[in-house]
Amino acid sequence: MKKLLPLLTLLLTFYSSYTMALSAESIDGATTVNASEAKKLFDSGAAFIDTRRNSDWDAGRIPDAIHLELKTNFTEASLSSEVGKADTIVCYCNGHKCKRAATCSKQAVGWGFTKVHYFRDGFPAWKAAGHPVE
């Protein structure tokens, strides 16, 4: 039993650090969507909010997405200048290990945006599904 304790501790530490590195699975007040659902929203004219770094944006993005880099220019004012609080928005970033879409969704809900969609799978899933990119 004493020999198993260090191994168990190591496994729990690894698991904790792994799960903490992942973005939230859902955001209170937002609807979590997958790539197929995001494409339906895209086709219906929803505004896609890309919160990724400039270099990621430059490497490719969802067509007509609005780039509001989370750490430099994502604010209530910048979001409000692009979309209305009753407009449908989809927040995305670089997938499960990127927490920017979760932050975007949480803040947008907190600022009173009422149709927030959290695309946790993000740009990698969009691209893998063969949806358009620019």
Domain boundaries, the chain: 24-128
Average pLDDT over residues 71-98: 97
Phi, psi of 132 (to 5 degrees): -65, 145
How confident is the model over 27-73, as pLDDT tens digits? 999 999 999 999 999 999 999 999 999 999 999 999 999 999 999 99
- Cβ neighbours around 72 below 10 Å, total: 10
Measured between alpha carbons, how far is 132 from 126 in angstroms, rounded to an integer? 8
Q: Which superfamily does CATH assign the domain made up of 24-128 to?
A: Rhodanese-like domain (3.40.250.10)
pLDDT-based confidence at residue 21 (cuts at 50, 70, 90)? confident
pTM of the model: 0.84
